[in-house]
Amino acid sequence: MSKQRLGNKLYEVGEKYDFYWGFKDTRFELKENGVLYINGDRYPVSGCELPDFMPYIQELLHIDVDTKHPREESIKTPPPAYINKPFLSEIQKLFSEHKYSFDDRVRLTHSHGQTTANEVFKVLYYELQRVTDMVFFAEEEKDIEVLINLAKKHDVCIVPYGGGTNVSCALQLPIDERRMIISLDMRRLNAIEWIDKNNFRACVQSGIVGIDLERKLQEQGFTMGHEPDSIEFSTLGGWIATNASGMKKNRYGNIEEIIETIRLLTPRGVMEPMVGFPRSSMGMQPQQIILGSEGNLGVITKAVVRIRPLPEHTKFGSYVFRDFDTGMNFLRDVAQQDVLPSSIRLMDNLQFRFGLALRPRGGRWSYIKRKLEQFLLTKGKGFDLRKTVVVTCVYEGTHFELTTQQKVMSRFAKKHEGISAGAKNGQRGYLLTYLIAYIRDFVGRYHVFGETYETTVPWDRVLEVCKRVQEEAQKQHKKYGFPGTVYIAPRITQLYRTGVCIYFTHGFSTHGVENGEDKFILIERHMRKTIMDSGGSISHHHGVGKIRSMFVKDLLSSASRDLLKKVKEFLDPSNIFCISNNIFDKS
């Protein structure tokens, strides 16, 4: 089997779940003694018992989790596919059967992303309102050209599909679309067509999954460096379509800084720069509208990306600070420096304790060591474990670069009375990011709901946004009568000189509340509006999709909206690409 790299460890690539997040060989389970266990061997806590996790959840949410009666899946068979017979007749003549499917489970899988209430819970426990009619597996660009021409001829819709990890309802199909909808699965277009080692460029097909792209580049001594939380499943095309960001953006840049040229197939024809340069002042550049296009304009088939030699060294680090304000002030000082670690993230106290709750059961000496560390932190340094926060970081580069990065972090940590928590804790904190969605699926079985929001915020608004979001979550929790208390935990995941990306995790129990998930959909809108009213952006890297589309009209002038609609009308006059995200959402 092929291998995938997370941090500095290689893992075997496995089979992905259809509806849940993640690999089939990795699941959180409760043992008979009530202790949480994660199977497999992919992650730092895999194969371990986690005795502190369930008590942490119950204490945090002030609830008693009924572990004896988990929710049972109730996956509904979708309605029969609507078939455009003339279109299907031509498909059957031109393509072999392994390139398309009408299987119900395949159709369902390709009809949703990973938004919790709107999509995952609907497919697992209720019913999706609209399901794709056919799934087409493109294996070469010519397949897509033929498919688009047939769709134009027979008035059929196409929805591009990559890794299925989207969390903005961008894959949610329009309910009122009566035409036949084809989900175009791009993951068989997964090759690196060429690598230009002299100029540090590579031409990559858009359906490649991030972890496979990194593996193939690393075999040649290079990296693209784009490492979002979803790197195990998301694709290059999806990153471009959502204008994504990765955890190591300090060193490698956001996706728009990594991409050199993009090839987009539209009903009008091909959009692609004729040549690529490191930079070119050629006037207005149409390519820019492809970034963040969210499937509205056509199909991204490939891109030329900028690559870098593999770093000579990779090390992890971590620091603890007295409270969130102190940690944020540390980050603000660090962000103004010219030398930064590849990744720097601040987790609030709830997530600091969350990390402690996910520590595996150890032996006697492990327990003694942990208690000694806590004693030294609280009694020796005067830290309060109910306020302590943690910063994790990844250092990459030459020995000189790592030394310089570490000196910068150490200097400002000392200024803000931070204490080094070591490389091991930094690595655990970094890799635990990959487990968050698995945990969401596990707690969802016990009526504990989890969702995330991300936004960009100027430095002087960070604390206000966090405060307002916490207050709004409590207000909505009380309004709808949910049991226990609400969990709102911010973490700062990306730094800029002028501000940060804040990533909120929102959790609570819906047990005993009728239509709790539907009520959360309403709450979610209030939460996103609160973020924006407090000074945050509509999104930092997840995009708009449908879940934020109602806010776009307030962010773009009428001339800007009209321009984008004219672009859509020109490239796709029959609305073949019907997904209707962003300003094109009519719901």
Backbone angles phi, psi at 202, to 5 degrees: -145, 145
Alpha-carbon distances, residue 558 vs 152, 553, 575 (angstroms): 30, 8, 21
4 touches 12 (CB < 8 A):
yes
Taking the C-alpha atoms of residue 306 and residue 309, their distance in angstroms, rounded to an integer, is: 11
Can you read off the two tokens belonging to residue 353?
């304790």
Catalytic residue among 161, 434, 446, 503: 503
Q: Quick check: helix, strand or coil at residue 454?
A: strand
Provide CB contacts within 8 A for 543, sequence distance 6+: 166, 168, 170, 241, 242, 243, 244, 292, 294, 581, 582
Q: Quote the DSSP letter at residue 381.
A: T
Using DSSP bridges, classify how beta strands 343-347 and 308-309 pair: parallel, antiparallel or unpaired: unpaired
Q: Is residue 503 flagged as an active site residue?
A: yes
How far lies 511's CA from each of 54, 65, 133, 437, 445, in Å?
Answer: 16, 9, 34, 20, 11
Helices 85-94 + 141-154 axis angle, to 10:
160
Query: DSSP letters of 69-135?
Result: SPPPP-PPPPPPPP--HHHHHHHHHHS-GGGEE--HHHHHHTT--S-IIIIIHHHHHS--S---SEE
R_g of the chain, CA atoms, integer Å: 24
| Neighbour tally for 548: CB within 10 Å | 25
Active-site positions?
503
